Amino acid sequence: MIKNKLILTAVLLCAAFFMSGCAIKSPAYTPAGWSPLNDQIQMVLETAGDNRGELEEFLNSCKGHPEKLQAAMFLTANLPPCDRATLSADLLKENLDLAFAARETMPWGHDVSWTDFLHYVLPHRVSQEKTVNWRGPFFKEIMPLVADCASMEKAILEINRWCFEKTGFKSTQRWDQNPLMTVNRGVARCEEAVILLVSALRSAGIPARQAMVPAWQHSNDNHTWTEVLTQSGWHYLESANPDFGLDHAWFTGSARKAPLVLSYAYGQLSHSRFPVYKRTFGCTVLNTTAKYAPTSPLEISLADRDGQPLQGRVFISIFNYGTFSPVAALETNEEGKAKMLLGPGSMLLSSAQGNASVFHISTWIPGEIKKRRPARLKLVKGNMPNGEVLMRFSYNDKAALEAPAKNSEGARKKELDGLKAQRNCRFEAVSIAAERFNPDHAESIAKSGLNMPEVLRAASDCPVKYRNSFYRMLSLMQPADLVAARAQDLLDNLLLSIEARQKAADRGIEYDDDIFFNFVLNPRIMYEQYEPWRKKLSKRIAPFNRTPKGINALCATLRRVGRGNLGSALTPLGVLKSNSASSKGEKCIFATAALRSFGIPSRYLPEQDWVEYYDGTRWLPLFPDAPEKIGNISATAESRSYYEKWNELSFKPQKNRNNGSPARYFKNFTLSKLRKGAYFELVEKTIQGGFNSKNKTWKLKVPDGKYWLIYGRRNKKGEPLVSITNIYFNK
């Protein structure tokens, strides 16, 4: 089978398809017969760009094997945009073959139904991590550990113990690292531990999936864990933490107060014992709250300001990280009605259309009333949420008292401490080796974990005159990126950036070293998955498009593709290969990467939905969908307010009731904005200032706009009394 090969050309031959090249196509895939997946497969192939041949090769390789072909069609039909644009036939084929190998070799392999195999064993991804070849190395290590296990339950615990040997908990970064990165780094946050454990379980033929609370109401943050399917049904366990076993974890008591628990299946489930919350492309999201907490149905009726039933979206939010965080959104039907099963507590229901909106608190406390009262929502013109409300959730819950305490040591403390010590020794050795190699930059080198040989090779191969720049680049890079980077990628990023800076200077665009390192050399733009994009972007974008105006024009030609809950955002190379994007954010990240490839300093402003580029004198906006507005700081009302002098706000929030400490941004309060007039989103980046400890006053600066100061003080039960104050700046 001939694989795709790119033939570079010097001229952009087609404006709609802006890559300066074409591909030798492998034989096209033609369905062997009718299947309900055929239309979806065709859509995936048509939006895969120049990676279509890889997907067709994968499908064609399974012809003559009916079960494998069916599985290959299922995988392909549900590939998110990031996968269909980048995955090779070899990766997909290896994933499929080893999934079938586990089915044939594990004692429980054929006890798993074909449907559960497709949705929970076969999939190559768990969440929003970058897809890699994890199944081979995991199968090789895990198969001997579990092949003699008398039951699937015992095998699950053995695999979870294996994951604990590989990694410990630590807050990392906002994008998900893949399971091989977690092994190389030795630390993971909860979702990354789930990705590791679910992948490991699937490598042994055990059905597994991710479950999560989108946001706690009794504290900040959220949590994600693993669910496994055995002959007795679905069970939960804490990922890479074998202290307690099945259906018993530190979060058992916390989950009893969960407003909502969601579980994720790859593909479209036709039947489930749990209600389907929503179906997105390639993913079925299940409402599994009733497995963890007492529940009650919320019945919503939505009407316009004249009282007529209204089809629209209703957001359900709880107080978390100093604002009202949406945990769900429901679509009302033609009769203006919607229904959902929810856990206990107080939730903000909100909806908006045009200049009319509604904000309503729905509370259900088990033991006080049998079920939630129906919520009748009516839009009101010019409605502004203001006031104070107690967000309750505490109730008399005997079951929670039997749950283990958070951070409990469990009964196996001595054994697990030994495993933890072995893991720590492994990574302490990395730090020692980095210190020996270069004491002055050991901290930056050690961030690469078990990937350190690649970093050391790059450092050794780097030209002496650029060594200082190389180490400064390492200091800027995120640990997750250094764990994934190859030596040649690091060198290419450095040397191509230096070359691009010189070419930009030849065109009159000059800048200092700080701008160069942060906004040209830096390969990290926002929360996208790491990839070495610089070399391919600089080669494959036509010469006459290598300006801010040309890049903006390319962004405007990108077609829009749908994206579900599984799969990461399209990376810059994914956008390039598929000539598509699923969001404005993906366009902005692509534009930023492209500009940096040509030595033009750039940065993405996610709260503004535009990119800034530096023209040698000042920073100017690039609007991905409006090339005619490029460089015009007065193009929109938002850009005018952003580039004018910001407004100052001073206030003294009350101290925390629990400990008397000063209120903190994110933890206790935020300035938030209403998105689409319907739900709150905290202002994280478009804000300046801080707390003055002398006069106990917060001073903040923000552009013009409508804001809400949202502040919550928790009582002894942890329930927040939330105040909402509207603040409107308009020069």
519 vs 507: CA distance, rounded Å: 18
Q: Confidence band (pLDDT; 50, 70, 90) for 656?
A: low
146 neighbors 204 (Cβ within 8 angstroms): yes
HEC string for 132-198:
CCCHHHHHHHHHHHHCCCCCHHHHHHHHHHHHHHHCEECCCCCCCCCHHHHHHHCEECHHHHHHHHH
Average pLDDT, the chain: 93
**Per-residue pLDDT tens over the stretch 497-528:** 999 999 999 999 999 999 999 999 999 999 99
β-pair type (296-303, 375-378): parallel
Listed in order, strand segments (DSSP E) in 566-614 are 580-581, 602-605, 610-614
731 CB-near residues (< 8 Å, 6+ apart): 641, 644, 704
The pLDDT value recorded for residue 1 is 36
Among residues of the chain, what percentage have pLDDT more than 90? 86
Q: Which residues pair with 681 in a beta bridge?
A: 673
With a cut of 70, say whether residue 407 has pLDDT above it.
no
DSSP letters spanning 525-554:
-SSPPP---HHHHHHHB-GGG-SHHHHHHH
β-pair type (168-169, 187-188): parallel
The pLDDT value recorded for residue 660 is 65
**Per-residue pLDDT tens over the stretch 682-721:** 999 999 999 998 888 999 999 999 999 999 999 999 999 9
What is the gyration radius of the CA atoms in the chain, in angstroms?
A: 27
Side chain identity at 654, as an amino acid letter? Answer: Q
Residue matched to tokens 């010189």: 502
Q: What number is the average pLDDT over the span 553-563?
A: 95
Closest CA to 194 of 183, 182, 210: 210
With a cut of 90, say whether residue 277 has pLDDT above it.
yes
448 vs 479: CA distance, rounded Å: 6
- Encoding tokens for residue 192? 């990354």
Side chain identity at 520, as an amino acid letter? Answer: V
Among residues of the chain, what percentage have pLDDT more than 70? 94
649 vs 697: CA distance, rounded Å: 10
Q: Which residues pair with 692 in a beta bridge?
A: 697
For 214, the 3-state DSSP assignment is coil
Q: What number is the average pLDDT over the span 396-402?
A: 86
Output the CA torsion 106→110→115→119 (10° steps): 0
Closest CA to 314 of 288, 340, 345: 340
With a cut of 90, say whether residue 206 has pLDDT above it.
yes
Closest CA to 184 of 487, 430, 505: 430
438 vs 455: CA distance, rounded Å: 12
197 vs 162: CA distance, rounded Å: 9
Q: Confidence band (pLDDT; 50, 70, 90) for 598?
A: very high
Q: What number is the average pLDDT over the span 646-658?
A: 81
With a cut of 80, say whether residue 6 has pLDDT above it.
no
DSSP symbol at 684 = -
The dihedral through the CA atoms of 389, 395, 400, 406 has a sign that is positive
The phi and psi torsions of 604 (rounded to 5 degrees) equal: -100, 130
Q: Confidence band (pLDDT; 50, 70, 90) for 537?
A: very high
With a cut of 50, say whether residue 9 has pLDDT above it.
no
**Per-residue pLDDT tens over the stretch 660-674:** 678 899 999 999 999
Angle at which helix 89-105 crosses helix 66-77, to 10 degrees, equals 130
21 neighbors 539 (Cβ within 8 angstroms): no
Q: What number is the average pLDDT over the span 538-542?
A: 94
Q: Confidence band (pLDDT; 50, 70, 90) for 2?
A: very low
- Encoding tokens for residue 600? 């033009």
The pLDDT value recorded for residue 19 is 39
Closest CA to 4 of 45, 61, 54, 55: 54
Q: What number is the average pLDDT over the span 69-81?
A: 98
User: Residue 161 burial by CB count (10 A; 0-12/13-18/19+): exposed, middle or buried?
Assistant: middle
With a cut of 60, say whether residue 536 has pLDDT above it.
yes
- Encoding tokens for residue 681? 């989103």
Q: Confidence band (pLDDT; 50, 70, 90) for 334?
A: very high
Q: Confidence band (pLDDT; 50, 70, 90) for 411?
A: low
Q: Which helix (H) or strand (E) holds 66?
A: helix 66-77
For 384, the 3-state DSSP assignment is coil
With a cut of 90, say whether residue 419 has pLDDT above it.
no
With a cut of 80, say whether residue 264 has pLDDT above it.
yes
With a cut of 50, say whether residue 12 has pLDDT above it.
no
552 neighbors 630 (Cβ within 8 angstroms): yes
Q: Which helix (H) or strand (E) holds 371?
A: none
Q: What number is the average pLDDT over the span 29-53?
A: 93
Listed in order, strand segments (DSSP E) in 582-676 are 602-605, 610-614, 619-622, 647-651, 669-675
The pLDDT value recorded for residue 414 is 78
Q: Confidence band (pLDDT; 50, 70, 90) for 416?
A: confident
Output the CA torsion 239→242→247→249 (10° steps): -80
